[in-house]
Amino acid sequence: MDTFPFNVDQVSISAKADWAKKPVMGGIKPGEFMGDGGKTINLSGQLLPIRIGGLTELEIADQMRRTGQVFPVMRGDGKPMGNYFIKSSKQTHKELEWDGVPFVISYQIGLEQLPDETPTSADLIPDLISVFDLL
């Protein structure tokens, strides 16, 4: 994510493995490894909408969550991370101005990984361009 005006100041990544437990009598349930369980990426940051903007980009990210758009995620150095969708988002609006626009918005966005074969959304490129203001 570009750091202007959509500032991401913290990224946490968690991963899991899937195991199937099988019932047995008189002992601990043995497990069978079923494969990679995928990753979850949590992004958080603060926006200053009155000073540098970011409300439009936040709304685009929320629209992507509401419509279930699938998109590729790439680390800042160009390493592909896989396909993800926005599973959750949270916003905290602080220091409201007279017109109701907050001076500070703290946000958290939770991304969940999908298999690489998952097709990405058709209107992904225009949405990403508008979020990250690439043109």
**pTM of the complete model:** 0.73
82 Rama sector, left if φ>0, alpha if ψ -120 to 50, beta otherwise: left
- Side-chain-facing half-sphere of 66: CA atoms under 13 Å: 6
In the chain, domain spans = 10-15+38-132
pLDDT at 122: 63
Q: Please, which residues bridge with residue 83 across strands?
A: 72, 114
Dist. CA 85–CA 74, nearest whole Å? 13
DSSP-assigned beta bridge partners for residue 42? 12, 110
Q: Tens of pLDDT along 49-63? A: 888 888 888 888 999
**Tokens encoding 45:** 């940051």
72-121 pLDDT, tens per residue?
888 878 888 899 999 999 999 888 777 777 888 899 999 999 988 766 66
The total number of residues shown for the chain amounts to 135
Q: Average model confidence (pLDDT) for the chain?
A: 83
